[in-house]
Structure 1
């Protein structure tokens, strides 16, 4: 009888392990907990993500406006969900646009000072990849993320119909401004959001 019980127990454990290996993480997550709010989990043998006595970090809900991903012009993966909880400025530009070129110097100047508090993200479209990368190099925009959107998916998503357009999203994920801004107005708005 003990041998039979051990065999049944071994089979049940093996079935559970195999089910866990082949299960999709999304399929096993409770439908009440969206993927974007799942707290990080430490790998076995790694240090915990928070001190044992400290309360766990509260997860940040990702608003619909920041549920997009893509590749930057330098080929890196970009996930807008990582910006949740902060105000964000999306700058829709084209490499041949004279207004974009005039704004690029202001953006290159102010972006480093607001990188952690009000990220500015370029959405490059309406041009060829080489022209876009040349634009980024010429105006020294390399350190800030420049999402490649030659297909215009993000332009359509945010209903942007012309370059140069700024979409300003508050920390709750609401679009609070969409349109053209000169350098002074952009700086004023970003400074206010950071405060």
Structure 2
């Protein structure tokens, strides 16, 4: 337990030095990101929601999906939340929007969800970082947009006002 906490503390320190929401080596534009990079189909993963329910990534197949990788202590992530809410309100019946919380313990995640007012979207608890690793996420506040065929069309940081427009583009 102590080693795990020290590992997370080290990771938090590294991210703080790198800057919350920085690219962290993750391409930030469509031209920089080779679509379909995860090993195997992007939607072949399982996780648990913050509410403790099982989640299968394959349930997102056949329609566009947005994965929002956030951390409970990240102020940039909190600033992105209004854009995520707006995209969900406008397009939630056409696009699956899923938060993927990591870089902290599961106990810290519900408070962020409440503060960000993103209770309406599915939020995964990725305390061990398995989903983050699957998508090669190296910093919080990263979005992954996946088309209905299951191909990644964008991976990177978006400001709150960019999120609804990117989701609209995903719909074509």
TM-score (norm 2): 0.73
CA contact (8 A) 2:147 2:153 kept: yes
Q: What's 2:165 paired with?
A: 188
Q: Which runs of 4+ in 1 moved over 3 A?
A: none
Mapped to 1, the partners of 2:87 and 2:65 lie a distance apart of 14
Matches within 5 A, 1:144-155: 144-155=121-132
The count of aligned residue pairs is 133
For residue 159 of structure 1, the aligned residue among 124, 128, 136 is 136
RMSD between aligned alpha carbons? 1.4
For residue 104 of structure 1, the aligned residue among 81, 91, 108 is 81
Higher relative contact order (CA 8 A, sep 6+): 2
Q: What's 1:66 paired with?
A: 43
For residue 146 of structure 2, the aligned residue among 156, 166, 169 is 169
SS in 1 for 2:114: helix
Matches within 5 A, 1:21-40: none
Bigger radius of gyration? 1
**Where does structure 2 lack aligned partners over 5 or more consecutive residues?**
1-39
TM-score (norm 1): 0.65
Offset at residue 108 of structure 1 (A): 1.9
Mapped to 2, the partners of 1:111 and 1:187 lie a distance apart of 8
**Where does structure 1 lack aligned partners over 5 or more consecutive residues?**
1-62
